[in-house]
Every structure is written in C-alpha cells, then in structure tokens.
Amino acid sequence: MTNLPLDEAEVLIIGAGIAGCSLAYFLAKRGVRVIVLEKWDVASEASGRAGGGVRSQNRQGPELPLMKEGIDLWQSFSRGFKTDTGFMQCGNLYVAETPEDMAEVEADHAKARQAGLDVHLVTARQVKELVPSLEMSVQGGTLSPRDGHTDPAQTTRAIAREAQELGARIITGVTVTDILVQGGTAAGILTHDGSLVKAPIVVNCAGVWAPRLAKKVGVPLPMKTIRGVTTTTESANPVVPVSLRSKRISIAQRPNGGLRFADGTVGKGKYCYDLGLEAFERIPLWFPIFWVNRQELKFRLNPDLVRRDFLRLLKNSRDRWGYEFPSHYTLPIDWKQVRKRKQRLDKVLPAARSLRTELIWSGLTNMLPDMLPAIGPAGPKGHYIISFSGKGISLGPIAGKLVAEWIADGRPSIDLMAFDPNRFRSIRSVSPKVYR
C-alpha cells in the first residue's frame, strides 16, 4: 500500500501540472491543508512540454478577463518567489503579414482593449524597429508589453516549491484511479494500489487524463488530445527582444540565447491527432471543428492507442490501461514538419541560418469542442475540474487562484460561467472555431 498521510487533507488535487500546482499554492497560502497526488513527477506532462508563450492576443472573449488578472500573477510570481520562474516579461508582438491578417488583428485588438488589456496597435515601421533583423512582409500588428514567454517546467516547479513551503504536500508516483462519492458528495480518491484517501474536496487537474476521471463521477468532458511539437536552436546573440508570433511562425529567444520556434497561429498539419478507438467518441460534435481546421490537422492511426482502447474494453484491464497512458506510448516527432519550420525560421530571421536545432520535443494537450477551458465545480458536491483547451500555461496561475477562491470563499472573484465543466451535458453542437 502507498504510505500516504491518510485523511489529513481538506483538499485533494489530482495532477501536478501548472493547474494543480497553482491551485495548491493559492490554497496553501490561505492555510488550507492540501495534498497533490501525481502519477509521475511535477511538470512531467503538458506543463513540462509546452512552448511557454504567455500572451493575451488571439484569445476568445471569456478568456480576456482571466488574462488581464493572470498577467499580474505572472509578474508577482517573478518578483515574489525565491526561485526563478523563467518568465521573461519582454512583451508579445503579434505580426500581421497581409491586409487580411491586419483586419483580424484590429478586431482582436478592439476586443482586448474593451476588456481592459494592455494591448496596442503597432505600425509596420514600429515592428521593424522592434525586431530589425526580421525579414517578412509586415502590415503592422499588436504589442502587449506585459506578456512574454517562460520555461514552463521551470515555472511549474517554482510554483510547486512555493506551495510546499507554504505547507502543501506533493506526493509523486501515485496514480489516482477513482474518485469516491458518498451521498452525492466527493469523499476522497482511490489509488492504483487500492489505497483510499479521504477528503471532502477533490479537484481533477489531470490534464489529458481529466475526462477519464470526470466520467467516473458522471461529468462528460468530450475532449480530444492533440500532439504538438516545439523546437529550440543552439544559443545565439540577441536577435529577438520580444516574443514574436504571426500566422506562420512563433519565435522567442530564451535567456541562454536559444531561439525557441514553432508554427504560428496557422500551420499546415500543425496539430496531430493520434487515433485510437476513443478518438471516434462524439464525432458529430467534433466533425465541424475538424472540417474548419482541416488544414491545421493531420491524423495518424496509433497502434498503441488502438491496443490500449481495445484492452480497456476487456474486463479488469480498464484501470491498468486507462491511466498510465502515455507511458506505454512514445510521442513521435514529425521530422518533415521540423525541417520545414527551420526553413521558415531561416527565411524570416536570416541570423538563424547558421544555428543548429538543438532541442525538439513533443507533448499532448487537450481541446474541448468550444476551445474554452473547463474550470469550476462539476458533478458531485465538493468535486471541481481545471482543464484547458491548449494555452493552459498562460492561464494556469489565474485558474488556480480562482478555484482556490471558489473553494475557500464560496465563489470566484471573476465570473467563470463560460467555463462551466457541466456545459457538455446538454450541448449537441458548437459553432466551429479556428484553432489559434
């Protein structure tokens, strides 16, 4: 049996990614006894594999108030934490390359300003002044000076350390296999070796595995998992002082000089869906979204996933295969995509031509059909969910803070209605949006 501090927690959190660690931090700060249970290690999944952009641009309306307050948290973490979070508040420059892009940028800017975000329109000349070595056609863009980029694993570990210093316990190597409910109220969790840990509040922050645990307490989260790739060059002299993004490319120069680059907001075959049997669930809901985003998507039948899903259909194999994924499953890299990206980088930033690509990694992220996060109470009383639709590094700290308020004060300080995790009980279709 796992040697767990049974029944000492007021709140149990499943998953030590940026969501779970941020929530633990804000709860511990309020003196709440909190335990985080993590099957691998802190930041071992999406929060350790993300690109690390922290930005207000290309957001959907309901996310804007979260980003407005969220960016203050990023700043306060950088100033107040004992260890470096890796956040560089260098500003985010979104570049419009065509008049059509510029029209979209202006509309996005108007929305952001209305929500009180610090985002400014910039001219083509200002873009060139900000990044003189940039060689792309530029119509103008927006600059959000308070945004920037981070090392997501470093940030998540820094938040985890601060939470622990405040008294939170983070226990790794423990897989949660079930959420206990008694009389309509969350009562604790079960672990892979049959241990029972009781607590009146349970929060599911399990990233791409969140839907499986949510299903056990009757909450449908029709999430799909997509695979993305991030790349970094060897170290270079300073060339990009801001975090830069356009439809075709994203570039950020890390403190060691390495240029981290990825596709922009649009990219042929940018996201990969690894298909197992589970991928065919709720297809009528997803088909219009796949269709609208067909240029950005590619599909690959994954034998590991088919095998896993098949075994889950067999008696007694459900938990074994349901929660350890993707330990049995390698995250492949699309080398053609990586080469094409590097060619694009060399074209728009000639200074990068002599640089080798040094680090390449891929990771899984989750997506709900309306591309908004799920944040808040769901299913039995005392059960909460924090789960993102991509972009969860930027939103992780504020989501943690708001759910801590919900648990401790009875309601969050920002309206989270649009993120209600229960919304997919009744939704049969959503108006499809373009992935950004």
Ligand X SMILES: Cc1cc2nc3c(=O)[nH]c(=O)nc-3n(C[C@H](O)[C@H](O)[C@H](O)COP(=O)(O)OP(=O)(O)OC[C@H]3O[C@@H](n4cnc5c(N)ncnc54)[C@H](O)[C@@H]3O)c2cc1C
Residues that bind ligand X (CB under 6 A): 14-20, 37-40, 44-47, 49-53, 175-176, 205-207, 209, 228, 230, 323, 363-365, 387-388, 390-394, 396
Kindly report the backbone phi and psi dihedral angles of residue 190, in degrees, each rounded to the nearest multiple of 5, phi listed first. Answer: -115, 145
Pick the closer one to ligand X by CB: 106 or 324. 324
Q: How far is the CB of 270 from ligand X (least distance, A)?
A: 10
User: Nearer to ligand X by C-beta: 142 or 150?
Assistant: 150
Contacts of 84 (CB under 8 A, 6+ apart): 78, 154, 158
Instruction: Indicate the residue type of 231.
Output: T
Minimum CB separation from ligand X for residue 123, in Å? 26
Q: Tell me whether residue 35 or residue 176 sits nearer to ligand X (CB atom).
A: 176
Q: How far is the CB of 34 from ligand X (least distance, A)?
A: 15
Among 98, 97, 78, CA closest to 88: 78
Amino acid at 78: S
Least separation, in Å, of the C-beta of 354 and ligand X? 26
Instruction: Copy the structure tokens of residue 295.
Output: 């240029």
Q: How far is the CB of 252 from ligand X (least distance, A)?
A: 9
Cα separation, 210 vs 385, in Å, equals: 8
Rounded to an integer, what distance in angstroms lies between the CA atom of residue 13 and that of residue 189? 10
C-beta closer to ligand X: residue 74 or 286: 74
Amino acid type, 239: V
Cα(331)–Cα(322) distance, integer angstroms: 17
The three-class DSSP label of residue 123 is strand
Using CA atoms, how far apart are residues 347 and 261, in angstroms rounded to an integer? 13
Residues 161 and 163: their CA atoms lie apart, in Å, by 5
Nearer to ligand X, 102 or 227 (CB): 227
Q: Which is nearer to ligand X, 124 or 360 (CB)?
A: 360
Minimal distance in Å, beta carbon 395 to ligand X? 7
359 Cβ partners below 8 Å, 6+ apart?
231, 232, 258
Under a CB-based contact definition with an 8 Å cutoff, are residues 258 and 359 in contact? Answer: yes
* Shorter beta-carbon distance to ligand X: residue 349 or 386: 386
Rounded Cα distance, 105 and 122, in Å: 10
Q: For the CB of residue 125, give the shortest distance to ligand X in the complex, in Å.
A: 28
